[in-house]
Homo-oligomer: A and B are copies of this chain.
Amino acid sequence: MKVTIYDVAKEAKVSIATVSKVLNQTGRISDKTKRKVLKVIEELDYRPNMMASALMGKQTKTIGLLIPDLANPFFSELARSIEDRGQELGYNLVMCSTDYKMEKENKYLTLLKQKNVDGFILASGFENLDKVEELIKQDIPVAIVARDFPMFPVNAVALDDFMGGYQAASYLINLGHKKIGVIARNVWSNRERLRGFKQALKENKLEFSTDFEFIEGSSVEEGKSMAHKYLSGSNVPSAIFACNDLLAAGAIQAAKENGLNVPEQLSVIGFDNTIIARIVEPPLTTIAQPIQNMGEQVMDLIVSLIEGDQKEKIRLTLLPTIVERGSTFKYDNCGVNER
C-alpha cells in the first residue's frame, strides 16, 4: 500500500497536522519534532499525494498546453522550450494537439478544467475568443503564446508577425525582387505577416501578386502545390515568401521540379527558423522566431499569474530577426537569373 501522511504520523508519534506543517513549513514546530518527522518521511520514502492537496485548494502544478500540432517542428520546438522552463519552475505540461479545430479545443479545455490544471497556455491558431473570455471570467489563468489578440485583454507573449512579414518583403525587395509570391494560410499570424508584407510592397510601390490565395494546411505538400501554381502562372515571381519553413521547403521542391535553381532563379524565404531551415538544400533564409525565449517568457507569465497576485494584463511582443542562409539571391534581369 502507498504510504500516507497517517503512516508518517504514526511512525513519528505525532499527529497528521504536525506532519502537514513540517511538509508545508507552516505553523511553528520545534526543531526536535521537525527533525523526527523529516527522518520518518525519509525512511518511509513518503510522497504527499497531490490530488489530495489539490482538493484542498492547493495547486496541481500542472498546466494545460493547447497547440495546433505537436508533430509540426515549430510547435514541437516551442513546446519543448515551454516544458524546459516549466520543469525549472516545478510545473508539468499536459499537451494537447487541437489541429486548429474548435471542437477539440473545447473538449480539451473542459476536460483539463475537470482535472484542475492550474492554468492554460494557448499556442498560435487559437481562434476561440469566447472560450478564452470564459476562462478569464472563471478566473483561470490563461496565457497566449505565438499569437496575439490585439482587441482582447489577455496575457500574451506574441511575435510581431506584421514586422516579420515586413522584414521578409523588405529583404527581398532590397535584393531587387519585384514580383514576389506569398504562400500563407488563413490564420491570424499568417494574415498579419501578409499585412506586413503588403505594407513593405506598398512603400516600394510594388504590386501584390494577383495569383495569391490562402492555402488550407501548412504542410510541405501544400507549399509545393501553391508554389507550382505561381511558377506556372502568367506572371512568374522571382521570389517566394512562405509563411513557415515547411511551406518554404515545399516551394523549394516545386522549384526543383520545374527545373529552377534556388536561389539563382528563384529566391525562397521562410518563417520560423525551425530545424527544417537548416536541413533543406539550399539552407533556408528565414524570419526567425525567438522560440526559446517565447517559451520561457510564456511559462514565466503563466506562473506569475498562478502564483502571484498580478492583476494587470501583460502583453509581451517579441521581434523576429532575419537569418540569412542560402535560399535567397540578388535579382537583376540581365543574365544571372535568366531562365
Docked Cα-Cα span, A280 to B83, in Å, equals 28
Tell me, yes or no, whether A122 is within 8 Å of chain B by CB.
Answer: no
How far, in Å, is A68 (CB) from chain B's closest CB? Answer: 11
How far, in Å, is A254 (CB) from chain B's closest CB? Answer: 13
Query: Size of chain A's interface in residues, with CB distance under 8 A?
Result: 48
Docked Cα-Cα span, A78 to B135, in Å, equals 31
Tell me, yes or no, whether A22 is within 8 Å of chain B by CB.
Answer: no
How many protomers of this protein does the assembly include? 2
How far, in Å, is A41 (CB) from chain B's closest CB? Answer: 13
Tell me, yes or no, whether A84 is within 8 Å of chain B by CB.
Answer: yes
Tell me the dominant secondary structure on chain A's binding face.
Answer: helix
Docked Cα-Cα span, A338 to B166, in Å, equals 47
One of B93, B276, B280 near A94 (C-beta < 8 A): B93
How far, in Å, is A298 (CB) from chain B's closest CB? Answer: 16
How far, in Å, is A295 (CB) from chain B's closest CB? Answer: 10
One of B70, B116, B220, B279 near A51 (C-beta < 8 A): B116
Whether A114 and B48, one on each chain, are in contact in the complex, defined by CB atoms closer than 8 angstroms, is yes
Docked Cα-Cα span, A48 to B55, in Å, equals 12
One of B47, B83, B116 near A49 (C-beta < 8 A): B116
Docked Cα-Cα span, A256 to B281, in Å, equals 10
Query: CB within 8 Å of B: which residues of A?
Result: 47-52, 54-55, 60-62, 69-71, 73, 76-77, 79-80, 83-84, 87, 92-97, 104, 108, 110-116, 220, 246, 249, 252, 256, 275-276, 278-281
Q: A71-B77, A73-B275 are in contact. List 12 more A-B contacts (CB 8 A).
A: A47-B113, A47-B114, A51-B55, A70-B83, A80-B97, A83-B97, A92-B96, A92-B115, A249-B279, A275-B276, A276-B279, A279-B279
